[in-house]
Copies of this chain bind each other. A is one copy, B any other.
Amino acid sequence: MLTQTAIRSATVLPSTRPLHAPRPVAAAAASESRSLAQHMQLMGAAMAFARNAEIFGENEPADYLYKLISGTVRTYKILSDGRRQIGGFYLPGDVFGLELGDEHTQSAEAMTDAKVLVIKRSALTGLAGRDATVARDLYTLTARELRRAQDRLVLLIKSAQERVASFLLEMAERAPHGDAIELPMSRQDIADYLGLTIETVSRTFTALEGLAAINVPTSRHIVLRNREALSRMNG
């Protein structure tokens, strides 16, 4: 039913490249040195997803890999009683939906209207078997995700203030508009990312503002006023 929503709200866009892609074998032969990113451009179909539309669901077949072109995406897992843990936030250029097995272990939703390159996994894994560059790129992406997940594990044993400070520094790092951060996600998303409640996130923002570490001109717009201080309270 969530999938229905996704299908209904998703639109196939005209691809930026001709859709009559070269046949697999020829492509592999001709492309030994092409990067994963280039292959995805060639093989992927661009799709648009509306805000809050589901891109894929946990336990669905993981037949595709996704590369974000524009907008922002969240992945998450939900427990039986509704608690939600956000696995990650993805920004343009990021790849998500990487899976070892043949089913997704998380769900993915567009946080804002988003355009996504969708690539058949079978095509890519086949290619990886013949092209070491592609294989290495896939490995690198997976290893990077692993490192992020391990860093999150550490984050989740910290205090609320430490978690929020870490989060803000991470966001500033990833969307580098100087000290001004435009948050694409709601307080609920942040809370579910950090393992806190929206009330605690909100109160912590207020507290950090009181400490002159940040400014919060509007709820989605944060200005880092003292990175030093944020880093110090980082654990």
Query: A residues touching B (Cβ–Cβ < 8 Å)?
Result: 77, 79-81, 83, 85, 87, 98-100, 105-106, 129, 132, 135-136, 138-140, 142-147, 149-150, 152-154, 156-158, 195, 235
Contacts and interface: CB of A to CB of B under 8 A. Distances in A.
Nearest to A232: B80
Contacts of A135: 132, 135-136, 139
Indicate the member of A81, A105, A145 with the most B CB atoms within 10 Å: A145
A85 B154 contact: yes
A80 B235 contact: yes
A157 B83 contact: yes
Contacts of A132: 129, 132, 135
Contacts of A146: 98, 100, 142, 145-146, 149
A79 B156 CA distance: 12
B235 A153 contact: no
Central interface residue in A135, A146, A147, by most chain B CB within 10 Å = A146
Contact of A235 (B79, B106, B142, B145): B79
A146 B87 CA distance: 11
B85 A153 contact: yes
A153 B147 CA distance: 13
25 contacts: A77-B150, A77-B153, A79-B158, A80-B235, A81-B235, A83-B158, A83-B235, A87-B153, A98-B143, A98-B146, A100-B140, A100-B146, A105-B150, A129-B132, A129-B136, A132-B132, A135-B135, A142-B142, A142-B143, A146-B146, A149-B150, A149-B153, A153-B156, A156-B156, A156-B195
